[in-house]
Amino acid sequence: MTIRPLLAVLAAAACSQPAAAAPYQPARTPDCPRACLYGLADHYLDALAHRDATRLPWAPHARYTENNVEIAVGDGIWGTATKLDHYRLKLADESTGQVAVFGVVEETDNRSGFALRLKIDDSRISEAELIVVRIADFGALGGGANPFASARFFDKPILEAALTAVERQPRARMIRIANGYFDTLQLNSGTLFTQFDPQCERYEDGILTTNNPAQTLGPLTAYGCEQQFRLGGYRFDDRVRDRRFPLVDEERGLVLAAGFIDHTGRTGDFKLTDGSTEHAPVRRPHSFCYLELFKIASGRIRQVESIFITVPYNMPSPWKSR
């Protein structure tokens, strides 16, 4: 069955959850509260596990991107997914009709973390943006073992917890705090443009990159969030561009960010603010594309969860002007 004929069938769908084999049938309501958004996200993942995009209510002109490339709905991972892990971190923005999920997908013998964003218009999926980190594609780095082979994706209660009234911040301020993180990261000199909680931790593609005694991704990862940036350890990150903040979960203090980190590759050895010397790990033109999640409580960044992949240097975003 093609997507368009299916849409006609779903036009008058009801709100109750269907049996496993039936297509999802959401209610036609003017808005979609948290439970509705979570339901759509769960059904999306169920459809993905069955490799059947026609189970879902797509908008007539729905757009789907996978790893920053726009492709046809039903292509890409829709043809290779074999299993979805139990790990599912969900967040919702009822005011914009968007929902996101951080999870794990298996494609035959590869287990990969992913971040997914969905936009719902009139009870139909109008946008689907997926970044999936296929660890096998990383290969050995620097001639050694692939450090991302030890990636772990697991539930973190701090990201699930609702904020108290005292801890909450206005939506616009939450976005400014998250954007300040990227201002601090870009050409990192030791100056902070945001605030960090003393207990702040960051996970990147399933690897702990703060307060990590194993220093899995280098010596800098032994330090906490604020200390890393005060040292100016990320000076080689030349530009953080095309920043978007499509989803804000005010109830839980979560901001989803999207964008790119560009490296010109020109930075070699450089001095940290403590006088020690650091060596830039990227010595070639290179870009990361990310979906990154910030937990913000009492105006400070408490936790960061990032999914990112390498893309061609200066690759544009299909969502940039949308």
pLDDT on residue 321: 56
CATH number assigned to the domain with residue range 160-311, chosen from the 4 options 3.50.50.60, 3.60.20.10, 3.40.50.2300, 3.10.450.50: 3.10.450.50
User: What is the distance between the alpha carbons of residues 40 and 35, in angstroms, rounded to a whole number?
Assistant: 9
CB under 8 Å to 106, separation ≥6 — which residues?
Answer: 81, 82, 83, 84, 85, 112
| 10-137 against 160-311: fold identical | yes
What's residue 29's pLDDT?
42
Higher per-residue confidence, 27 vs 131: 131
Q: What is the pLDDT of residues 306-322, one digit of tens each?
A: 999 999 999 999 998 54
137 — pLDDT class (breaks 50, 70, 90):
confident
Mean pLDDT, residues 140-144 taken together: 49
| Gap between the Cα atoms of 36 and 124, Å rounded | 11
Average pLDDT of the residues in 163-174: 97
Q: Which helix (H) or strand (E) holds 101?
A: strand 98-107
The model's confidence at residue 18, banded by pLDDT at 50, 70 and 90, is very low
pTM, entire model:
0.88
The single-letter code of the amino acid at 294 is F
- The secondary structure of 220-268, three-state, reads HHHCCHHHHHHCCCCCCCCEEEEEEEEEEECCCCEEEEEEEEEECCCCC
Q: Report phi then psi at 245, rounded to 5.
A: -130, 75
Positive/negative CA dihedral, 173, 175, 180, 183:
negative
How many C-beta atoms surround the C-beta of residue 83 within 10 A? 11
Q: Residue 24 has what pLDDT?
A: 45
pLDDT given for residue 144 in this prediction:
57
Residue range 117-135: mean pLDDT, rounded: 95
Q: Which fold has domain 10-137?
A: Nuclear Transport Factor 2; Chain: A, (3.10.450)
pLDDT for residue 108 is more than 70: yes
Only one residue has tokens 């009234």, namely: 165
Domain spans of the chain, in order of start: 10-137, 160-311
Question: What integer pLDDT is reported at residue 217 of this predicted model?
Answer: 87
Q: Which amino acid is at 37?
A: L
Rounded mean pLDDT of 231-243? 97
Mean pLDDT of the chain: 89
pLDDT at 139: 55
Q: Is 146 exposed, middle or buried (0-12, 13-18, 19+ CB in 10 A)?
A: middle
Convert the pLDDT of each residue in 238-287 to its tens digit: 999 999 999 999 999 999 999 999 999 999 999 999 999 999 999 999 99
Question: What pLDDT, on the 0 to 100 scale, is given for residue 11?
Answer: 37
Q: What is the pLDDT of residue 158?
A: 97
